[in-house]
Amino acid sequence: MNKSALKKFATSMRLELISMIKTKIDYLLSNAYKENLALYDTNKVSIQQIEERYAKDSEDFIEEVAYTWFNRLVALRFMDVNEITSSSVISTSDEQPIPQSFVEAKSGNIEESLNLNKELFFDLIDNKVSGVQDSNNEAYKMLFISVCNKYANILPTQFEKINDYTELLLPEDMLSPNSIRAKVVSSMSKEDCKDIEVIGWLYQFYISEKKDDVFAKLKKNQKITPSNIPAATQLFTPHWIVKYMVENSLGKLWMLNNPNSNLKENMKYYIENSDEPAEFIKISSPQEITFLDPCCGSGHTLTYAFDLLSKIYEEEGYSKSEIPALILQNNLFGCDIDKRASVLANFALTMKARLYHKRFFKKQILPNIVELQDFGSDEFAGIKNFGSLIIPPKTKSFDDGIFGQTTREYEIQKKILSNEFHCVVTNPPYMGSKGMNKELSDFVKKRYPDSKSDLFAVFMERGLELTKPHGFMSMINQHSWMFLSSYEKLRIKIIKNHKIDTLVHLGARAFEEIGGEVVQSVAFVLQKGE
């Protein structure tokens, strides 16, 4: 994976999309467009929606639309390369300069599952629609949007049904060699798309300039607001560190229960201790295991846990067709305050499941991953500030409207934040007390006085709260908690009540995208006490 090239592509693509969408909005809201009565009347409702959103918060609105199209294009490129799409939606070849799906549609071979206005589509192909500069391009855009809406039923987070106004803001040029689509195809090589983690890297690169802006403001004593916490704290965990954490928590739990297992042959970073714990959670079936990432980001940790769990299930004799569904239903849980990250984590796990079993989509099973939301209730108030640090009261119920219906997202969120898991593994947010806004600062001072100096330390305590007695909690964070006097009470609490199973002192440059001595890191696995 050429990360420097991918970073250049993602950052430039963001700026290009923002510019394109801003230009298109200006045109759609101009008098020149409104004077074309036939065209304006067709899109009048959408234009009004654009006008309202733009007036409310122009910057956030443009960012939202830009990322929607970037996200869908890179997802479809990954799916094309891995032959998850029935025919290439955006990808081309040397022999075929336009996507195969468009070639097939033009010849009349259109999937029944596509909600495509065939009459208009073929009128465009035949140049029968007046006032259209590039009929071929417009026809392809229709097909592209129809494909996105088709996948809304299969991948409802990644391809969430969009508003009509978002469709109206799709970049104009989608077919030429210089189009946004073509740039995605040329920049995401087949080699890049071999691993689902490419999607996570692209997201981190996409928001890198916003991250820089947040930290520049922090230097001017501007506190990090809830909306900026994701950009400020997103940091992609190196793959080998993910393996170390997962193998020595989930893998450790399985090996303790199955000492003759061949699983350790697949665990390069597994560490066998001479004094393995005498007390551990007894597991009789893989389906019993629960694994949580409470700050899941784009799902890097969860996807590797999926890989390891699939080997565990295979070892136990489960059929290939049932394993992905069992893992997603029973074993893996994740949450994040960043909607985009939670969407990517859902996508990543679903892709893992589909690549493992080709007919997985037919099962219509969704991962247990949610964007943390307040749901308009007291128990989750301020959750965009506090994230998975919130512990909801177990006595309350959720009233969604007059019928008192609950939602799947609410139930998963409550289950995650109210329960204990066999393994809790994460790369938590790093944020010193100086960067916290008043609400967050007051919250951690009251709830976590022994770790209040930085969010990463607060999440150490919260991670242990989310772990079952004798279960495993693993993290990578800054090493300062091991030395500074401000964390003395935290250290005493850990040593007195829990066991440090393994610890790897990484020092500087553990994260390849962070240069110099900025972050001194440590990765560790704790076994929770009674």
Name which of 12, 14, 10, 23 is nearest 54 in CA terms. 23
pLDDT at 38: 62
Phi, psi of 362 (to 5 degrees): -65, -20
pLDDT at 223: 58
**3-state SS, residue 227:** helix
pLDDT at 333: 97
Lowest mean pLDDT across 170-184, 434-448, 515-529: 515-529
Do the beta carbons of residue 139 and residue 121 sit within 8 Å? yes
Task: Tell whether the model's pLDDT for residue 227 goes beyond 90.
Answer: no
Token output for 226: 């809830």
pLDDT at 306: 97
Binned at pLDDT 50, 70 and 90, residue 232 comes out as: low
Give just the sign of the alpha carbon dihedral 487, 489, 493, 496: positive
pLDDT in tens, 275-306: 877 889 999 999 999 999 999 988 999 999 99
pLDDT at 406: 65
Mean pLDDT value of segment 152-165: 80
Give just the sign of the alpha carbon dihedral 493, 496, 498, 500: positive
Binned at pLDDT 50, 70 and 90, residue 2 comes out as: confident
CA distance 427 to 422: 17
Do the beta carbons of residue 360 and residue 329 sit within 8 Å? no
pLDDT at 221: 63
- For residue 368, what are the β-bridge partners? 333
Name which of 162, 177, 183, 166 is nearest 73 in CA terms. 183
Task: Tell whether the model's pLDDT for residue 210 goes beyond 70.
Answer: no
pLDDT at 431: 85
Q: Distance of CA 65 to CAs 59, 120, 185, 240, 293, Å?
A: 10, 25, 20, 34, 28
Residue type, 219: K
- Residues 6 or more apart whose CB falls under 8 angstroms from that of 70 comprise 10, 13, 14, 17, 206
Residue extents of the structural domains in the chain: 3-194, 206-527
Task: Tell whether the model's pLDDT for residue 174 goes beyond 90.
Answer: yes
Count the helix, strand and coil residues of the chain and give each as a percent rounded to the nearest 5: 55, 10, 35
**3-state SS, residue 27:** helix
Mean pLDDT value of segment 2-29: 92
Task: Tell whether the model's pLDDT for residue 219 goes beyond 80.
Answer: no
Q: Distance of CA 364 to CAs 23, 156, 193, 220, 441, Å?
A: 39, 10, 24, 48, 41
pLDDT in tens, 457-506: 999 999 999 999 999 999 999 899 999 999 999 999 999 999 999 999 98
Token output for 526: 């704790």
Tell me which range, 338-342, 408-412, 494-498, is most confidently predicted by mean pLDDT.
494-498
pLDDT at 404: 47
pLDDT at 222: 59
pTM: 0.88
pLDDT at 103: 93
pLDDT at 509: 63
pLDDT at 432: 87
Provide the percentage of residues in the chain whose pLDDT is more than 70. 89
Binned at pLDDT 50, 70 and 90, residue 401 comes out as: very low
Task: Tell whether the model's pLDDT for residue 405 goes beyond 50.
Answer: no
pLDDT at 237: 79
Angle between helices 300-315 and 239-246 (to 10 degrees): 50
Q: Distance of CA 222 to CAs 278, 319, 442, Å?
A: 50, 54, 17
Name which residue leads in pLDDT, 153 or 100: 100
Mean pLDDT value of segment 377-397: 82
Q: Distance of CA 250 to CAs 240, 331, 432, Å?
A: 15, 11, 30
Residue type, 462: R
Phi, psi of 119 (to 5 degrees): -60, -50
pLDDT at 27: 87
CA distance 473 to 497: 13
Provide the percentage of residues in the chain whose pLDDT is more than 90. 62
Domain 206-527 adopts which CATH fold? Rossmann fold (3.40.50)
Token output for 361: 């989509």
Residue type, 399: D
pLDDT in tens, 421-431: 999 999 998 88
Token output for 458: 């607060």
| R_g (Cα) of the chain, nearest Å | 25
- Residues 6 or more apart whose CB falls under 8 angstroms from that of 413 comprise 335, 370, 372, 373, 375, 380
Q: What mean pLDDT is reported for the chain?
A: 88
Binned at pLDDT 50, 70 and 90, residue 215 comes out as: low
pLDDT at 469: 96
